[in-house]
Structure 1
Amino acid sequence: MIKVGEYNTLNVLREVAFGVYLDDGAEGILLPKRFVPEGAKTGDAIKVFLYHDGEDRLIATTQKPKGVLGDIVKLKCISVTPQGAFLDNGLMKDLFVPKSKQQRGMIPNGEYLVKIYLDEQTGRLAATEKIEPFLSNDDLTVKVLDEVQLTVYRRTDIGYVVIINNMHTGVLHHNEIYRDITEGDQFKGFIKKIYPDNKIDVAAGRSGYQRVEDEAQKILRLLNENNGYLPYYDKSDPEDIYSFFGMSKKTFKMTLGNLYKQQKIALEKTGIRLV
């Protein structure tokens, strides 16, 4: 069964001068010649993305869109018409946002956080700025320490509301932020705490000792690259630590303690030295 707006792996049904037709159980879906992998022949399986072209025909491509069905992504506006706006989704055909699905109107070259959905009437991919109806914490699919995909949604007094796995919302508190972020930014994180009312606190990066393990390798590499010594220690400024190591001071101190116990580093008055 084919899925519009998603990746599908389909077999080559037949070859024609302008591409190949892929087996959809009917007459076939065209994969234009420019996107056919070199050497592809009848019977070969090809991973493609399916969407409707400008003439409303279902078509395949090996291009990778910036977002697929269900994704929440930040996209650039290419053009505006009385009916709506068109966003660059990385494909030959731009993604349509009906005027009724816009918050305050879109302008060319503006960037907007949108949810990609399938229009029930046309069966075509479309996008909406009105994301809230798609988000809910009523039935959570995550638990504490789970690794998740985070999308920055909006700023608040205590931090940023983030979208978790395109499904739930959580809060990334200011004391968990160690770099500049803006609406639409996406990065890995983990579930830090779930409250009785299903509100969620998150943190960026990986959780617990897995994070320390990864950061330990980074510190050892940086020591090797700097003749075995770095002028950073547990009293260093948090911003200096983040600027050089890309980690919070808390993670830095945890990692130093771990490396010291393993006798891989020596702690000096003004820095750390490779043993």
Structure 2
Amino acid sequence: MSEILPFLNRINVYLCGMKELGLISTLPINRFTDFGAYLALSSGEEVLLPKGYLLGDEKEGEEIAVFVYTDSEDRPVAVTESPKALLDEFAVLEAKEIAPFGVFMDWGLPKDLLVPKAELGQNMVVGQKYLVKVCVDFQTNRLIGVNKYRDFISEAPMDYVPGTEVSGLVFDKTDLGYKVLIEDQYEGLVFSNEVFQPLEIGDLRKFFVKKRRDDGKVDLQLLPPGRVKYEEGAEIILAMLEEKGFMPLHDKSAPEEIQKELGMSKKHFKQCIGQLYKAGKIQILENGISINSSN
């Protein structure tokens, strides 16, 4: 039973009576007070939109798109700001404060999101980013964060064959590589020795299935099947050019400038652009290098 209780604490908010909690809803203004405007909830109750979120020319009956959560005293409150994740959504959030009862995460609202101690899947460090899912604790009827992401992960479908393109959120880096949350449902990994372009915790991007493992997890790769892999430095340059189109670096650029921009020596840079030029991937111009759009 003790293993079931944490899961029960995350029961969907609709069992708790307030359908709008944790979501963006368009609600009508019922009435105004000195503190703001009271908006009508679907239950017939009201929620306060504080005065600071009003423009001053609103009228009763006018509808406003708001996010509903609870304030520091656990009272329902509406704001016109949007958090980094809504109810039942995942996000990579930064740890702001460690407390004896949990960790407060920055999710883009005045009141931080608490990950209770019982919902921590790892030790957190202030300033670092972690994968969190927004849930409801039915005992307190408040939004909480859950860091035990594997409670929500399923085995990847069998049709995840090599080459399948997927959307993934990079959420952790280990000795093996980068962990990726695929389609908010499955766990993937990109091995470190196969990362040849900038990859950061919190990046949302496309990946390609390399292999579906027997345990239901997925090995991923950054390049589509059949794409020629170049030397690591050349991959970095090509990735930046695919994003920017042009870079003001060339064989006459100062070594310090190349080192600052790419983290490589001038000799290495010249070798890399030579490889990409011969492959027809880039153009070498007088003032820099550009992607070869005709390729």
Question: Shared topology, TM-score over 0.5?
Answer: yes
User: After superposition, what is the alpha-carbon deviation per residue over 1:119-151, rounded to whole angstroms, capped at 9, x for unaligned?
Assistant: 132221112332221112244797854451312
TM superposition shift of 1:188: 1.3
Which one-letter code corresponds to 2:95 in the other structure? K
Give the number of aligned pairs. 245
Contact 1:7 1:50 in 2 (8 A): yes
Please give the alpha-carbon distance, in whole angstroms, between the structure 1 residues aligned to 2:139 and 2:58: 35
Please give the alpha-carbon distance, in whole angstroms, between the structure 2 residues aligned to 1:98 and 1:154: 23
Pick closer, same or farther for the CA change 1:85–1:178 going to 2, 3 Å.
same
Which one-letter code corresponds to 2:153 in the other structure? L
User: Percent of aligned pairs with the same residue?
Assistant: 29
Pick closer, same or farther for the CA change 1:141–1:51 going to 2, 3 Å.
farther
Q: Among residues 30, 38, 42, which one is paired with 1:21 in the alignment?
A: 38
Pick closer, same or farther for the CA change 1:147–1:206 going to 2, 3 Å.
farther
Partner of 1:169: 187
TM superposition shift of 1:208: 9.5
| Equivalent runs, 1:223-262 vs 2, <5 Å | 230-231=250-251, 243=262, 253=276, 257=280
Which one-letter code corresponds to 2:50 in the other structure? P
Partner of 1:100: 118
Structure 1 residue matching 2:25: 3-state secondary structure: strand
Structure 1 residue matching 2:58: 3-state secondary structure: coil
Partner of 2:80: 62
**1:75 aligned to 2:94?**
yes
Pick closer, same or farther for the CA change 1:105–1:243 going to 2, 3 Å.
closer
Structure 1 residue matching 2:208: 3-state secondary structure: strand
Structure 1 residue matching 2:262: 3-state secondary structure: helix
Contact 1:80 1:106 in 2 (8 A): no
**1:153 aligned to 2:172?**
yes
Q: Among residues 41, 44, 50, which one is paired with 2:59 in the alignment?
A: 41
| Equivalent runs, 1:168-187 vs 2, <5 Å | 168-179=186-197, 181=199, 184-187=201-204
Please give the alpha-carbon distance, in whole angstroms, between the structure 2 residues aligned to 1:188 and 1:41: 42
Which one-letter code corresponds to 2:171 in the other structure? V
TM superposition shift of 1:243: 2.9
TM superposition shift of 1:98: 1.9
Contact 1:267 1:273 in 2 (8 A): no
Which one-letter code corresponds to 2:143 in the other structure? L
RMSD: 4.4
Please give the alpha-carbon distance, in whole angstroms, between the structure 1 residues aligned to 2:145 and 2:135: 6
Which one-letter code corresponds to 1:46 in the other structure? I
Structure 2 residue matching 1:21: 3-state secondary structure: strand
Contact 1:188 1:205 in 2 (8 A): no
Structure 2 residue matching 1:121: 3-state secondary structure: coil
Contact 2:169 2:204 in 1 (8 A): yes
Partner of 1:235: none
User: After superposition, what is the alpha-carbon deviation per residue over 1:202-255, rounded to whole angstroms, capped at 9, x for unaligned?
Assistant: 34599999xx9x956843x54xxx5xx9549xxxxxx98x939xxxx89x959x
Please give the alpha-carbon distance, in whole angstroms, between the structure 1 residues aligned to 2:159 and 2:139: 30
Please give the alpha-carbon distance, in whole angstroms, between the structure 2 residues aligned to 1:87 and 1:34: 23
User: After superposition, what is the alpha-carbon deviation per residue over 1:69-127, rounded to whole angstroms, capped at 9, x for unaligned?
Assistant: 2213232232513x3333333323222222222245556x3535133221132221112
**1:111 aligned to 2:114?**
no
Instruction: Mark the runs of 5 or more structure 2 residues left unpaired by the alignment.
Output: 1-17, 228-237, 253-257, 264-271
Q: Among residues 195, 205, 209, which one is paired with 1:192 in the alignment?
A: 209
Instruction: Mark the runs of 5 or more structure 1 residues left unpaired by the alignment.
Output: 233-238, 260-264
Contact 2:210 2:220 in 1 (8 A): yes
Please give the alpha-carbon distance, in whole angstroms, between the structure 2 residues aligned to 1:116 and 1:53: 16
Please give the alpha-carbon distance, in whole angstroms, between the structure 2 residues aligned to 1:217 and 1:190: 16
User: After superposition, what is the alpha-carbon deviation per residue over 1:23-72, rounded to whole angstroms, capped at 9, x for unaligned?
Assistant: 21313211111112453333333221111112222111112323332213
Structure 2 residue matching 1:136: 3-state secondary structure: coil
TM superposition shift of 1:189: 2.0
